[in-house]
Structure 1
Amino acid sequence: MSNPISVKVGSVELKSPIILASGTCNFGHELSEYYDLSILGGLSSKGLTIKPRVGNPGVRVAETAAGMLNSVGLQNPGVDYFIEHDLDYMDSLGCARIINVAGHSFDDYMAMIDKLAPHKDKIDALEINLSCPNVKAGCMSIGSDPEQIKLIVSSMRKKTDLPLWIKLTPNVTDIKTMALAAQEGGADAVVLINTLLGMAVNIKTRRPVLNNNTGGYSGPAVKPVAIRMVSECYQVLDIPIIGCGGISNYEDVLEFMIAGASAVEIGTASLVHPTCPVDITADLKDWCEKSGESLSSLTGTLQLW
């Protein structure tokens, strides 16, 4: 095996299944001080919007017993600034360049595609955030409505031939319906899962810890939920799945892939141990060498009872 940990997500070839999750690695500047990002499969940029966003005020990150809550509110410099100042840097990192796109309306998403289209030679995939658990201006309804998902994805599909990876919210009754809507709209892959909606309470003040009251919950505690949703969607989809949620070691990666993921994203674990993705990559290579298996052969090998 020339590279037993290489995988493919549709037409996108990754030297490793490890992708740095959006919102935990910015555009790569900070983590590149710790290690060479070219050893990874890819990096998903900070979520970008048409206009700059300062994010939510007050306390917006809180650690919990088995994870963390965040209500950052999509703070970002805006797509124009990104194109001028950060896109070339991402292009130089040597791993897949995945641009995370967020919006508050149908028009926002379409405008984002128009902005990025001229730079498609520096982009490997667009990750479309239809979950937006921390923004009050309509995003939740988009990610929870299969008709809206299909409309937005199909409209994007008409505007670009770049791979569209649709990041879905887990805060729905039936994730399969949402994933199928993305597929029917022309998505090339789905990313499962974004954060679960959660809350923590300060028992002294009797107020929520986060000033936004609620936030996206991530970390080890969400992994069983994410694994279940990956497995459910793998059984009904014809497009690849990128698994995300609670990954902190190589065994977690294997679990996600056996359940149906073609690749994975690591987020919260990088905030705890910045070199975690490097350690996991090394452990995956060691596992492949000892087992004689390639990682890509694991996808969807789960045998349900």
Structure 2
Amino acid sequence: MVDLKVKLGSLELQNPVMTASGTYGYGEEYEDFVDINRLGGIVVKGTTLHPRQGNDYPRMAETPMGMLNAVGLQNVGVDRFISEIYPRIKKYRTNILVNVSGSTVEEYVETAAKINALDHIPGIELNISCPNVKEGGMAFGTSCPSTIAVTAAVREVYNKHMMVKLSPNVTNIAEIALGVESAGADSVSLINTLLGMAIDVEQRRPVLSTITGGLSGAAVKPVALRMVWQVAQAVKIPVVGMGGISNAEDAIAFMLAGASAVQIGTANFIDPKVTEKVIAGIEDYLVRHNMTSVAELKGALQA
């Protein structure tokens, strides 16, 4: 028997495999395929203070090794999440984290404060890749001062585990990670999607209604792996890696680079059972390499 348990500060995971926000709905959508209770945790879709309809269609496009999306945080808003969705999903015997998004610091704070009162939600994932309307649309996560400001403000009203999701669309992601650590983050998750675009050459028009969108899937894995390695060397708080993880080998690579746990996103669309397969694959790897605990993988890269 090997020990798959992982600790992210106060947050205890039965194994290091989580799902990425925006790719797993509220968990219910996958109940026919996966035993949700077997996962280390699920991060539900981005939740904002007010309901959002999202961007106009088309807002998704396939790429050779992944996908572009510009869904635009379509969601029912935090109040309906609390009244309608939370009562249905609190039955899960795994960690449920809510991805919190907003357009102003005040929206982040108010949304996080509401979620803080939910007994069966042990943590949030702060999505700082959202456009800051007070700063002309620049994403919170691309500016160190605004990153620190939003993290510190939410920390004042949220007393459970606060994971901060980092944007890769920056020059120095380690600097951003150090900033959120200093502002009170309990862990960081990375990477969010890379900014990309697609063009229909016959129509001579962008494929997405928003022109640009977020690139995810296998194509981003080398970039994500590099950034996880850089951040893990810079911060003392746990790192959760994501970006193109499609199998157990990918997940193990992220842990060798310094991640304590991983999130799987786009691969869920290809194989809805991928999370369970990755858990089994990690366990098999530990047995084959005579390891007794998944913690032995963390940062074990021999470079």
Q: Same fold (TM over 0.5)?
A: yes
**Which deviates more from structure 2 when the two are superposed, residues 252-261 or residues 279-288?**
279-288
Q: Secondary structure at the match of 1:50?
A: coil
CA distance in 1: counterparts of 2:154 and 2:262, whole angstroms: 24
- Taking structure 1 as reference, are residues 29 and 139 closer, same or farther at Cα in structure 2, changes over 3 Å only? farther
1:153 Cα deviation from its structure 2 partner: 1.1
Q: Which residue of 2 aligns with 1:301?
A: 300
Q: Give 1:139 deviation, angstroms.
A: 6.0
Aligned to 1:176: 174
Q: CA deviation at 1:136?
A: 8.0
| Residue in 1 that maps onto 2:57 | 58
Structure 2 residue 113 is matched with structure 1 residue 114: yes
Q: Which residue of structure 2 aligns with residue 268 of structure 1?
A: 266
> Is the contact made by 1:168 and 1:179 (CA closer than 8 Å) also made in structure 2?
yes
Aligned 8 A contact 2:173 2:227 in 1: yes
> How far does residue 89 in structure 1 lie from its aligned partner after superposition?
2.5
The residue type equivalent to 2:37 in the other structure is: S
Unaligned runs of 5+ in 1: none
Query: Residue deviations 1:193-215, cap 9 Å, x none?
Result: 00000001101011111111000
Match for residue 7 of structure 2? Answer: 8
State the SS of the aligned residue for 2:163: strand
- 1:255 corresponds to 2:229: no
CA RMSD, Structure 1 to Structure 2 (Å): 1.3
User: Letter of the aligned partner of 1:276 in structure 2?
Assistant: V
User: Is 1:130–1:140's contact at 8 Å kept on the other side of the alignment?
Assistant: no
Residue in structure 2 matched with residue 20 of structure 1 by the alignment: 19
Q: What is the SS of the residue equivalent to 1:47?
A: strand
Asked if the contact 1:20–1:44 (Cα under 8 Å) also holds between the matched residues in 2, the reply is: yes
Between the aligned partners of 1:89 and 1:168, the Cα distance in structure 2 is 29
Amino acid at match of 1:279: K
Q: For residues 82-93 of structure 1, what are the structure 2 equivalents within 5 Å?
A: 82-93=81-92
Matching of residues 122-137 of structure 1 within 5 Å: 122-132=120-130, 137=133
Contact 1:4 1:288 in 2 (8 A): no
Q: How far did residue 289 of structure 1 move?
A: 2.0
Q: Secondary structure at 2:164's aligned position in 1? A: strand
Partner amino acid, structure 1, of 2:30 = L
Mapped to 2, the partners of 1:90 and 1:141 lie a distance apart of 30
Which amino acid letter does the alignment assign opposite residue 179 of structure 2?
A
1:202 match: 200
- Partner residue, 1:147: 145
**Pick from 220, 239, 248: which aligns with 1:222?**
220
Is the CA contact 2:192–2:243 (under 8 Å) kept in the aligned structure 1?
A: yes
Q: CA deviation at 1:17?
A: 0.7
Please say if residues 60 and 72 of structure 1, whose CA atoms lie closer than 8 Å, have aligned partners that are also in contact.
yes
Q: Counterparts of 1:92 and 1:139 in 2: how far apart (Å)? A: 38
Deviation at 1:88, TM superposition (A): 2.6
Once superposed, which parts of structure 1, at least 4 consecutive aligned residues long, lie more than 2 Å away?
135-141
Tell me which of 218, 243, 249 is aligned to 1:245. Answer: 243
CA–CA distance in 1 between the matches of 2:45 and 2:137?
A: 17
8 A Cα contact 1:127 1:165, kept in partner: yes
Unaligned runs of 5+ in 2: none
User: Does the CA contact (< 8 Å) of 1:5 and 1:288 recur in 2?
Assistant: no
Report what 1:48 is aligned to.
Answer: 47
**Partner-residue secondary structure (3-state), 1:284:** helix
Matched-pair identity in % = 43
- Helix, strand or coil for the counterpart of 2:37? helix
* CA 45–54 in structure 1, closer or farther in 2 if over 3 Å, else same: same
- Cα distance in structure 2, aligned partners of 1:299 and 1:89: 35
2:138 & 2:94 partners in 1: Cα distance? 31
**Amino acid of the structure 1 residue aligned with 2:168:** P
Distance 2:139 2:17 in 1: 30
Paired with 1:290 and 1:298, the residues of 2 have a C-alpha distance of 13
Partner letter of residue 67 of structure 2?
M
> Over residues 176-223 of structure 1, what are the superposed CA-to-partner deviations in whole Å (9 max), with x where a residue is unaligned?
111011001010001110000000110101111111100000000100
1:232 to 225, 230, 233: 230
